[in-house]
Structure 1
Amino acid sequence: MIDALEGRLFLAFIALAEEKSFSRAAERLGYVQSTITTHIQQLEKIVGQKLVHRYPRGMELTEAGKVFAQYAYRYVHLIRSLDEQMHELTEPSGTIRIRAQESFFLTRMLPFIQDYASRMPNVNVRVEHGAYPDILSGVLNHELDFGIVPQNPNRHELLFEPILEETIVFAASEPVTRQVQEAGAQALGDQLFISNGTSCLYHTSAADVLKQAGITVKDALELPSLEMIKQYVSCGKGFALVPEIAIRNEIQTGKLQVLSFAPEMKFTHGLIAHRNREHGPTAQGFRTALMDFYRSPIVSSPD
């Protein structure tokens, strides 16, 4: 099998797996669509397994395709690391893929990315946002170089390096907060609970706290972004669990207030990487720069 496998076949497979479209994969690699089709057919013939299900409006990986994808990513990353080593780059270059929750990127990570990009113009940092399960999956399947998660996943396949501790608070508008102060926390049962959805760790953590407090919420709303959640709650529509740093401006202007019915909550955000991932000099340098950034007094100062 190894004699028949070529790098371009792996690249075509990865492009197809990520784009979920033969035409978009071809456009991404600068091929005609028939070339992608031929490459995938070659791979399927070589490995003796069907790798993709083809549909009129797209495709999805078969179970064999999902297994093959992990090795395809590892192959491509290994070759890129080898290329960096062989050329003994005097300046880092290449692509770093990292995924984090939107709230962490907006409140904690953006300054680092801006600083790093200005110092390392030849490194393409692809920052993606996703829920906690999406981040774990991306690192475990070797799609990503790194992930940032709000708690230690305690998986033997993953390395976890703590970055910073984050205070999490329940937030609501002034009218909703006043209602809770007057009627007690049980008043939240009639309010709309707003979050990024059940796959979000903030949602599950909030649900646990509410359950422990004996509060049964009758209705919930899923919104795709932190900004939408803040705006919706600011209008007096329900309450949400958010990073305290994310609503400091809203607290100062009176748009939002902290609900104090629950004990103080904290998450320990950290960087995760696959234990068996071969990181090249660029990825290793990125990791060092990121960890040094969060160890600085300005960033690591208490909230």
Structure 2
Amino acid sequence: MLETLEGRSLLTFLAVLEEGNFSRAAEKLGYVQSTVTSQIQLLEQNCNQKLFHRLPRGVKPTEAGEQFALYARQFVQLGHSLEEALENLDLPRGTMRLGALESFLVTRMSGFMHDFFTEYTDINLLLETGFQADIVDQVQSHALDFGIVPMDPKQDDLIFEPLIDEEMIVVASKPLADLIEHQGWDHISGIQVIGFGSRCVYHTEGLKLLSEMGLPSGIHSNGFASTELVRQVVTCGLGVALVPKISIAQELAQGIVVSLPMPRKITFVHGIVRHKKRVLNTPSKVFYREIVEYFSKASATSTLLRL
């Protein structure tokens, strides 16, 4: 089968997979629809497998198609890496893809991004935000070069490099914190648990901790799409949240919110994760080296400040 595969057909396959439609894929690639159809049919003949279910309003990958996609992405990525390596050699120029939690990007990455892209002006970074499971899946499927996640996924096909410890705290507005302290959880009506939703490891760990702190079961839990929304809802006094301490440092310093006493310390170890078999292009190698060095220096500085 290998001798019959070509990069153009694999790019067509991935375009159909992403668009879910032959005509939209043709438009994206600048082909006529018949060209896309014939390329997919040829791939299916070479694979001796049906790659897409033809539906009334588009297509959906078969089980064979989903498996084929894993290798097609690797094949195409290797082609891009080879092209960039030959064109650029030692020049860090090209595109890399990174996935991370929105809260981590907002609170931890701005300084790094400024320094990195000031120095490496020819590197293009495509950012994806998502939760741990989403990011890990995309790294495993080679849709991302790297992911930054709050805990080691402990997958045999992935490499996890710790970057920084993230201290978590339970916070509430000052008036709500005073009510909790003097009346207890059971006597406060309408209290909510604020976070990013049930798919976020911060939120699920927060619910466990709050249960240990005396929060009654059955309390309403609210998920919001961004760090800023979580911060605003908490400062308005609508609920409590488990958040990275750094994400609400200003409000803590101003006394707008209060850190509630916790029965145990919670720290997430954020790290960068990549696929063991992924061949890194030049921009990815530079990014990996620079981000590990950046957070290594940040951790060392933080340690010195605590001494």
TM-score by length of 1: 0.90
Q: Are 1:244 and 2:245 matched, yes or no?
A: yes
Kindly state the Cα deviation for residue 214 of structure 1 after the two structures are TM-superposed. Answer: 4.8
Residue of structure 1 equivalent to 2:261: 260
Q: Which has the larger radius of gyration?
A: 2
Instruction: Provide the aligned C-alpha RMSD in A.
Output: 2.4
Indicate how the Cα distance of structure 1 residues 237 and 37 shifts in structure 2: closer, same or farther if over 3 A, else same: farther
Q: Which moved more, 1:80-89 or 1:262-271?
A: 80-89
Separation in structure 2 between the aligned mates of residue 134 and residue 151 of structure 1, nearest angstrom: 13
**Offset of 1:273 from its aligned partner?**
0.7
Tell me by how many angstroms 1:71 deviates: 0.3
Give the alignment of 1:142-157 within 5 angstroms.
142-157=142-157
SS in 2 for 1:296: helix
CA deviation profile, 1:82-103 (whole Å, cap 9, x unmatched): 2233335242122111100000
Q: What corresponds to 1:275 in structure 2?
A: 276
Q: CA deviation at 1:110?
A: 2.5
Partner of 2:287: 286
Q: CA deviation at 1:226?
A: 1.4
CA contact (8 A) 1:52 1:61 kept: yes
Identify the residue that residue 124 of structure 1 maps to in structure 2.
124
Residue of structure 1 equivalent to 2:204: 204
Deviations 1:145-176 (A, max 9, x none): 11111111122111111101111111211221
The 3 A distance-change label for structure 1 pair 298 and 152 is: closer
1:72–1:186 CA distance, 2 compared to 1 (3 A): farther
Corresponding letter in the other structure for 1:70: L
Q: Residue deviations 1:200-219, cap 9 Å, x none?
A: 11112112223334532421
Give unmatched runs, 5+ long, in structure 2: none
Tell me which moved more, 137-146 or 55-64. Answer: 55-64
Larger CA deviation: 248-257 vs 92-101 = 248-257
Aligned-partner Cα distance in 2 for 1:268–1:201: 12
Work out the number of aligned pairs and report it: 303
Q: Secondary structure at the match of 1:3?
A: helix
2:11 corresponds to: 11
Q: CA deviation at 1:56?
A: 4.8
Q: In the superposition, relative to structure 1, how do residues 234 and 294 fare at CA in structure 2: closer, same or farther (>3 Å)?
A: same
Question: In structure 2, how many angstroms separate the alpha carbons of the residues matched to 1:191 and 1:98?
Answer: 36
User: C-alpha separation between the residues in 1 aligned to 2:130 and 2:15?
Assistant: 20
Change (3 A) 1:108 1:18: farther
- Report matched runs for 1:148-227 at 5 Å: 148-185=148-185, 191-215=191-215, 216-227=217-228
Cα pair distance change 1:60/1:277, threshold 3 Å? same
Relative to structure 1, the CA distance from residue 79 to residue 201 in structure 2 (aligned partners, 3 Å threshold; closer, same or farther) is: same
2:237 maps to a residue whose letter is G
Instruction: Quote how far apart the aligned CAs of 1:54 are.
Output: 4.2
The range that moved more, 190-199 or 235-244, is 190-199
Residue in 2 that maps onto 1:137: 137
2:93–2:282 Cα contact (<8 Å) kept: no
**In 1, are the aligned partners of 2:11 and 2:76 still within 8 Å (CA)?**
yes
Q: Does 1:233 align with 2:234?
A: yes
Partner residue in 1 for 2:53:
53
Distance 1:13 1:296 in 2: 43
Q: What is the percentage of aligned positions where both structures have the same residue?
A: 39
Moved more, 197-206 or 252-261: 252-261
How far has the Cα of 1:69 moved from its partner? 1.1
Distance in 1 of aligned mates of 2:121 and 2:56: 40
Return the offset for 1:37.
3.7
Contact 1:150/1:267, CA 8 A, preserved across alignment? yes
Is the CA contact (8 Å cut-off) linking 1:293 and 1:299 kept in structure 2? no
Give the TM-score normalised by structure 2: 0.89
User: Which runs of 5 or more residues in structure 1 are unaligned?
Assistant: none
Cα distance change on mapping 1:223 and 1:118 into 2, 3 Å: same
Q: Hey, what does 2:40 align to over in structure 1? A: 40
Counterparts of 2:59 and 2:189, CA distance in 1: 43
